[in-house]
Amino acid sequence: MKSLTEKQKNMLDFIDDFLDREGMAPTVYEIADHFGIKTSTVFAHLKALQRKNQLSRSSKARSIALKKRPARQVPHMSFVLSIPLLGRINAGLPADSPVVVEGEFQVTGKLAELAKHNELFALKVSGESMRDLGILDGDIVVVQKISTPKNGDIVAALVNNETTVKSFYMCDNKTVELRPANPDYSVQQYAADQVVVQGKVIALHREF
């Protein structure tokens, strides 16, 4: 097998660091932005790394998985905390607001620091409306409790006592848009006083 080039090593290191920091794989666009290169160049490097059995990926966003992640020091148990894992949140049309705690989800590192202050909860995702942002059916999203998101944040939002996960946009002081990331779904518009933001999605977990 051919050895890795310096650029390929740097790209693997970035993907590895991104996975640890964000809890999900970077998109091709995020890799291109980090290195200041074209997306076509990123695709070429990823294909080369696939041939060298360094990673796997599909056509879906955030599907990059490293085959040979370096061994890392296991965090001390004091830095591993549990957060409540609630019922399924819909990535489609709004669904009944989850009120049942289904179990616990463990977080480490920076997420554990937030968990110490009871700022986090986890939700199971149902549906494919956020597919193109890499959030798939069956994923678990980690949500930080906030009430004032920025435009473009992916949020868990309560609308008329129902909950959904979408990209948040405040169009004016009276209207909120909850935008999907799948052309099969429509943008949802609500009066601002109908939308209660439960939190911002800050990490994602997927089992293969």
CATH 1.10.10.10 in the chain, residue ranges:
6-66
User: Residue 93's pLDDT is what?
Assistant: 46
- Among 93-107, 160-174, 183-197, which range has the highest average pLDDT? 183-197
Judge if pTM exceeds 0.85: no
> Active-site residue among 124, 166, 167, 200?
166
pLDDT band, residue 90 (cuts 50/70/90) = low
Answer yes or no: 174 catalytic.
no
User: Mean of the pLDDT values across residues 57-86?
Assistant: 64
The boundaries of every CATH 2.10.109.10 domain in the chain are 81-205
- Mean pLDDT over 57-73 rounds to 72
pLDDT at 91: 54
pLDDT at 24 over 90: no
Q: Residue 11: what pLDDT?
A: 92
Quick one: how far is CA 59 from the chain centroid? Answer: 17
Confidence of residue 86 (pLDDT cuts 50, 70, 90): low
The predicted model gives 188-207 an average pLDDT of 88
- Whether 50 and 4 have beta carbons less than 8 Å apart is answered as no
Alpha-carbon span 120 to 101, nearest angstrom: 13
The confidence score (pLDDT) of residue 73 equals 43
pLDDT at residue number 89: 58
Do residues 91 and 127 lie in contact, with contact meaning Cβ atoms separated by under 8 Å? Answer: yes
pLDDT of residue 207: 67
Is the pLDDT at 56 greater than 50? The verdict is yes
The pLDDT of residue 169 is above 50: yes
**Beta bridge partner(s), residue 126:** 90
CATH 1.10.10.10 matches 6-66: yes
Q: Measure the CA–CA gap between 166 and 173, rounded to whole angstroms.
A: 19
Distances (CA, A) of 160 to 22, 59, 163: 31, 35, 8
Marked catalytic residue, from 97, 124, 129, 167: 129
Q: For residue 144, is pLDDT > 80?
A: yes
- What does the alpha-carbon distance between residue 176 and residue 171 come to, in Å, rounded to a whole number? 6
Report domain 81-205's class: mainly beta
Q: Find the mean pLDDT for residues 183-202.
A: 92
Active site residue 67: no
More confident call, 202 vs 82: 202
